[in-house]
Structure 1
């Protein structure tokens, strides 16, 4: 994970932004770039024969997490064991899915037969590098670094229009993650 100051070489006012939920404008040449996830949109384009290049924010010191588990404070107080079991089941689910990728793709296809099984297999394989990082291998699946949450808030404050900082210690907890031995 790289960190350091983020420097923009161009202001956003010099970039014409277009909102498009699909890759169609990229494919037809109407736009030069688009945001997306390397684990699905980029792979889909490459499977269709288009050459792509990914500009990963993490390569420029922008680190964040794509997924999180949320619950209400009342649930944490009234049934902390439920939260622990849910998080532990999520961890076991990730570990099982990545240890049994062919079975995982089969289950996806049963639930969503319109999906392309080869695409789903490629996505699962590619996404493993984001799930199983050096940090998560050392600390356990779904473990996270509070410093990344702090960096995310800094970036959103500097570039994303976040007007009011929050005490990030009050918005996350690692207390419900199973110990690496408990996985």
Structure 2
């Protein structure tokens, strides 16, 4: 995976100084520090991630990781990442006030969650939550945290789902013989 070249978007500017990498695009700036033994080589609008030693197993693992992280940074600063959540269940709803999300998920008290400042939250209605950011890892972590408040039930399907997620429902108990 690490040997696969990364195509640079013309709108994105990449700055490398030693082991520090800065990616700037129309949506914002992200920074990353390369691990020892990993270097970058830029050929026009193509970026190559290189490793110093071919026989080092740990460095080989980091090679693919760094390539994936840099690709996510380039895509994030140019187009951004979006994650959608849906609430399924009677009375399940959410309210948004600034960066504070209040979730009513069938518990006795509502759950209040403060979304990080780097993530933009919007709601089309009370049961659909949309998260946007330039940081892929942060969007995924926030979505997973919200989903963890009430994971989908295997018998009824109630809970917080990713948009388009299919839940296979289990069959209930049989009554009688």
Tell me, yes or no, whether TM beats 0.5.
Answer: no
Question: Which protein has the bigger strand share?
Answer: 2
What is the TM-score with the length of structure 1 in the denominator?
0.22
Q: Greater Rg, structure 1 or structure 2?
A: 2
**Which of the pair is proportionally richer in helix?**
1
Task: Report the TM-score when normalising by structure 2.
Answer: 0.22
